Amino acid sequence: MAISLASSTTRKLGGVLAERQVTVESLSAGSGIPASTLHDKLGGSAPFELNELDAIAVALGLPLQEFLPRSGQRAGRRSQA
């Protein structure tokens, strides 16, 4: 089953937020991205822009690469285990 880069990124970000128990409101405060924008994009209404992912990564203290496909993985495909 193919998945898009946008949905993969959104899923990874949602997982990090849940794991760290970070609210959208606190992420908004740390990243400077309006909470309404974060809610919309986490809901899948639009993809995250690269500058938004960078601001989120900085706010969470993570490398930007955390939200991008790993080297050797192709966007739009799930890795086969």
pLDDT confidence tier of residue 72, bands split at 50, 70 and 90: low
Distance CA 71, CA 18 (A): 24
Does 79 have pLDDT greater than 70?
no
Cα distances (Å, whole numbers) of residue 15 to 10, 58:
9, 17
Give the tens place of pLDDT for each residue, 22-66. Answer: 999 999 999 999 999 999 999 989 999 999 999 999 999 999 998
Q: Considering the domain boundaries, does residue 24 fall inside one?
A: yes
Q: Considering the domain boundaries, does residue 48 fall inside one?
A: yes
* Cβ-Cβ contacts under 8 Å for 51 (sequence gap 6 or more): none
Please give the tally of structural domains in the chain: 1
Task: Give the domain CATH number at 41.
Answer: 1.10.260
Query: In the 8-state DSSP scheme, what is residue 10?
Result: H
- Structural domain harbouring 14: 5-62
Does 14 have pLDDT greater than 60?
yes
Closest by CA to 46, choosing from 54, 55, 38, 35, is 38
Q: Considering the domain boundaries, does residue 17 fall inside one?
A: yes
pLDDT confidence tier of residue 17, bands split at 50, 70 and 90: very high
Q: What pTM did the predictor assign?
A: 0.79
